[in-house]
Amino acid sequence: MGITKTDLTNLETKITASVDNLKETIEALRDENTRLRERLIHYDIAIDDLEQYGRRMCVRVEGVPWAEGETNEELQDTLVAEFGKLGVVVEPRDIVRLHRSSKPKEVKRGNKVVVTKQAIIRFSNWRSREKFAGLNKKARQVEKTTKKPSIRVNNDLTKRRLQLLTSARQRISVHLGRLFTEEEQKDGLPDADNVFAYANINSDLRMRIRGRVVSFNSLPELEDAIKSAFPDETPTA
């Protein structure tokens, strides 16, 4: 006895039902995978926030003169002197520990070439740490007056947070480059036109958009901030 039309219809119905069940299973697994990925990202950010909190008493100082064979005592004396040039008084007792970081690099200071190397400092108390709020702005003003490079003091950001801030600055630079000339940007854009990203003294990432400040601590939040800053611009990677 051969296969009847009814048999084929029943087989087709069973196959369709099996395919539908597989599609539902795949969709459910896809949704679960999405939820797990979102949860993992959430936990990664939470762990990063804890690590960043552990670095709240630390700063990274750029442009500090360096010489081969330097001792920690000499480094401390150099840092205290450099801070003093910018009106920030730091006592040795304010410093828990310090060390050099990254590779040395040459910087031209007047007619001289000075070798500098980044330094990391951990302070003993918040009062000492908060003395550096707004220091870089003051350093730029000193440079304009003296025509000599000055140090820069930055937060000791985690790798994730630093990458996010760097990405924000690069993308902002591309957008501003389409809207303003290099000369206009060099002269300084008015607050009504300017957009820039920064980390405040608590290492929270911020974007100042024409006088308005928004926060971002993840890629989706960065995307939203960029869209808010440049709604009429073509997105950049």
pLDDT (tens digit per residue) in 10-69: 888 888 888 888 888 888 888 888 888 888 888 999 999 999 999 999 999 999 999 889
Q: Which pLDDT score, from 0 to 100, does residue 114 have?
A: 85
Instruction: Please check the confidence at residue 111 and state whether its pLDDT lies above 80.
Output: no
Residue 233 pLDDT > 60? yes
Contact between residue 52 and residue 161 where contact means Cβ atoms under 8 Å apart: yes
pLDDT at 236 > cutoff 70:
no
Q: Are residues 84 and 149 in the same domain?
A: yes
Packing angle between helix 159-179 and helix 219-229, nearest 10 degrees?
Answer: 20
- Indicate whether 62 and 149 sit together in one domain: yes
Domain with 34, as residue range(s), is: 1-55
Cα separation, 130 vs 159, in Å, equals 22
Are residues 75 and 140 located together in one domain of the fold? Answer: yes
pLDDT one-digit tens code per residue, 119-162: 999 999 999 999 999 899 999 888 888 888 889 999 999 999 99
The model carries a pTM of 0.79
Q: In the chain, how many domains are there?
A: 3
**Residue 73: per-residue pLDDT:** 94
Residue 108 in any domain: the answer is: yes
Of the residues 155, 186, 211, the one at which a domain ends: 155
